Structure 1
Amino acid sequence: MARPAALHSCPPDALAALGPVLCLHDARDRHPLSGWRRAVQVHAHVSLDSEGPSEALCFRSADGECCWQLHRLPDSDFLAWERLLDCVPVEACQADTHPGPRWRAVRLSAWPRWRPCALRLHAVPGLPAEQALAAADVDLSRLGREAADRIARRLGGLIGFGGGLAPA
């Protein structure tokens, strides 16, 4: 497993350059940026499965728990993702090999429940780093919505992709 990098390797302006992303935040958080404010480390997950490539940034809190995720969508800026992946450790993930709904239910019961939302991040100059990020709703292409639905089902299961910043 790759050792996560300090959060400064993933500054707000680099996140803003990503364009539209799928954000997964803890379902107990009322705002999608709550996890960003708790994050102290980041690493990337990269995998390839039957549905194609998958790239995400996993942000960890001081206790080592994943508290915020950003997933690349077809609508995201590919080159900005590549530049960011050059700055953070990348962890290659195994494809999900659990067969059927029973294993899926077991797996999801052990994971935090994520609230998915599509958003565009914006850097806010002049604020402390943990507050220097803002988010806005974003419209996705049909392909982007399908990818967001697939990611949300695969990782969140019990809370489906609801679209924008409003709670799903």
Structure 2
Amino acid sequence: MFGWLASFGVHSRARSTTTVRWLAITPRTLLEGLGQLGGVLYLAPSFAASCQADLPSSPGCLVESADLAPLLSTRYVGVTCAVTCEGPREWIDCIGADGETLARIYLLPDTDYLAWDGLFVDALPIDGPPCRLPDRDGLRGCRARVLSFSRRRLGGFDMLSATDVCISVLGRGVARDIAVSESIAIGG
């Protein structure tokens, strides 16, 4: 949450105020961290698009719904902090082994900021993913959901599920602004 403060004022207005920290992770690390965040804005391919891809396999990890399946293929994350005209924004780009953008998760005012800051404490910093960088094209055809992840053990597996969550008026406004800037509709 406070990553954007570190870059605020350091750059002149002519320079970018966006910073990205790249990390190599395992799906298990991602699933463990997401279950602690509370309300977030989750952008992922629609059900039809995610069914067209090969089903990911991550030993010991399962997801409860198809729209969470891209998280099982995540091998890298780009933790981005930006200062926009709407205010500070932080998000995580979930990147696959081939460098494709699989999903994006935005911090909202209702997110547990301490869990967000500690999300990837043990992840391995890298210079960047091996192939292409995340771009808006990777998120075409996505849908956005305000949700809360939860993780539980089920027969020796880590199971990630998500439920739509009610958030504050401020949080709904921020989620709406993000969806508009991404040209994506928020749906259930």
> Under a length normalisation based on structure 2, what TM-score does the superposition of the two structures give?
0.66
Name structure 2 gaps, 5 residues minimum.
Answer: 1-19, 52-65, 128-134
Q: What is aligned with 1:15?
A: 34
In structure 2, what residue type is equivalent to 1:29? Answer: S
How do 1:46-125 residues align onto structure 2 when only pairs under 5 Å count?
Answer: 46-84=81-119, 86-88=121-123, 89=125, 110-113=137-140, 114-125=142-153
SS at match of 2:50: coil
Which of 140, 144, 149 aligns to 2:171? It is 144
Q: What is aligned with 1:39?
A: 74
How many residue pairs get aligned? The number is 143
Structure with max Cα Rg: 2
Aligned equivalents of 1:111, 1:60: Cα separation in 2: 10
> Under a length normalisation based on structure 1, what TM-score does the superposition of the two structures give?
0.73
Aligned equivalents of 1:8, 1:36: Cα separation in 2: 7
Aligned equivalents of 1:120, 1:80: Cα separation in 2: 13
Aligned equivalents of 1:53, 1:42: Cα separation in 2: 19
Change (3 A) 1:3 1:57: closer
Does 1:29 find its partner at 2:50?
Answer: yes
Name structure 1 gaps, 5 residues minimum.
Answer: 92-106
SS at match of 2:102: strand
